[in-house]
């Protein structure tokens, strides 16, 4: 897999990248990351947040910034776990997942459902009510606005799934992933729900098989999982190219409970 970003920094900037897969037991990652300003290498510092997401911070001066990330990943990640205090956080409304506002809708639409049946119903409901339209949403759109607009991209689908599940008392969160088979290729966002003691993937877009997705970042919503965050400075994204391939794409039965590998 790889990610190539070209940025135009109009001033000295403080940038945080979230483009490297999260490390987990069972995975081996061989990788390179190069950040350059007008062809000269820029120092990069790696950090990890409380969820295990890997963040890379760079502070380039003004100019053309290029970012090249490449990785070969082998193995399969062990299932992610959760502590009670974390699950409480994933039950609460968040900036882009306004589960409190959507509670009446969720309780009316999914009354009597639980477990895998609830996940299937939410995924199908969102997938049939939204149209996937690239460029149709704003970075500031949340689940409520997405439902009103009836269109969006992967993060919008995921936000709506997360909000509806939380409104039904199911802990849910957003995960950014590399998704082999996605067309057109890009970073992808899915919902992850805690059901019967494990995290399961909900992807209402059905644009890529869930079994070959690879976790990058995990959080309450897109505010925690953006591939690029500008902490300070003026930065314009000029170009983004993402690749993700796997030896063999798995068959994906959308009714089958699937953990993120």
Tens digits of residue pLDDT in 116-131: 999 999 999 999 999 9
Residue-wise pLDDT for 191-200, tens only, equals 999 999 999 9
Whether pTM > 0.85 for this model: the answer is yes
Question: Which pLDDT band, with edges at 50, 70 and 90, does 96 fall under?
Answer: very high
Work out the average pLDDT over 54-63.
98
- Taking the C-alpha atoms of residue 245 and residue 256, their distance in angstroms, rounded to an integer, is 23
pLDDT of residue 153: 98
The answer to whether residues 176 and 242 touch, using CB atoms and an 8 Å cutoff, is no
pLDDT, mean of residues 68-85: 94
Check whether 26 has a pLDDT greater than 90: yes
**Domains in the chain, CATH or no CATH each:** 2-76+230-241 (2.60.40.2250), 84-225 (3.10.620.30)
Rounded CA-CA distance 196/106 in Å is 20
Residues 146-186: tens digit of each pLDDT: 999 999 999 999 999 999 999 999 999 999 999 999 999 99
Please provide the average confidence, as pLDDT, over all residues in the chain.
96
Spell out the long-range contacts of 112-116 with Cβ–Cβ below 8 A and sequence spacing 24 or more: 113/168, 115/195, 115/196, 116/195, 116/200, 116/257
What span, in angstroms and rounded, lies between the C-alpha atoms of 38 and 169?
50
Buried/exposed 151-187: b ≥16 CB within 10 Å, e otherwise: bbbbbbbbbbbbbbbbbbebbbbbbbbbbbbbeebbb
- Collapsing DSSP states into helix, strand and coil, what is residue 63? strand
CA atoms within a 13 Å half-sphere pointing along the CA-CB vector of 118: 25
Looking at residue 50, its pLDDT comes to 84
Which pLDDT value is given to residue 254?
86
pLDDT computed for residue 255 by the predictor: 85
Instruction: List, as one string, the DSSP characters of 183-211.
Output: SS---EEEEEEEETTEEEEE-TT--S-GG
Tokens of 78: 């062990």
Q: What is the pLDDT of residue 261?
A: 73
- β-strands 172-178, 188-195: how paired? antiparallel
């Amino acid at each position: 897999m790889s990610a190539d970003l070209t940025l135009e920094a109009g001033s000295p900037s403080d940038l945080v990248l979230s483009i490297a897969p999260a490390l987990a037991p069972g995975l081996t990652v061989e990788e390179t990351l190069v950040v350059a300003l007008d062809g000269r290498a820029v120092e990069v510092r790696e950090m990890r947040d409380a969820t295990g997401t890997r963040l890379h911070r760079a502070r380039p001066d003004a100019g053309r910034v290029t970012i090249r990330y490449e990785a070969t990943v082998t193995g399969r990640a062990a299932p992610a776990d959760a502590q009670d205090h974390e699950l409480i956080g994933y039950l609460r409304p968040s900036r882009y997942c306004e589960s409190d506002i959507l509670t009446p809708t969720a309780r009316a639409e999914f009354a009597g459902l639980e477990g895998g049946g609830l996940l299937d119903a939410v995924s199908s409901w969102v997938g049939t009510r939204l149209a996937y339209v690239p460029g149709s949403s704003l970075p500031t759109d949340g689940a409520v606005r997405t439902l009103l607009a009836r269109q969006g991209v992967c993060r919008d689908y995921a936000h709506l799934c997360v909000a509806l599940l939380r409104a039904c008392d199911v802990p849910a969160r957003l995960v950014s992933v590399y998704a082999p088979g996605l067309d057109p290729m890009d970073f992808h966002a899915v919902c992850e729900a805690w059901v019967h003691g494990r995290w399961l993937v909900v992807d209402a877009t059905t644009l890529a098989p869930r079994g070959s997705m690879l976790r990058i970042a995990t959080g309450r919503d897109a505010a925690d999982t953006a591939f690029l965050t500008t902490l300070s400075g003026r930065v314009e994204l000029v170009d983004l190219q993402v690749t993700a391939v796997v030896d063999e794409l798995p068959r994906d039965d959308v009714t089958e409970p699937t953990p993120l590998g």
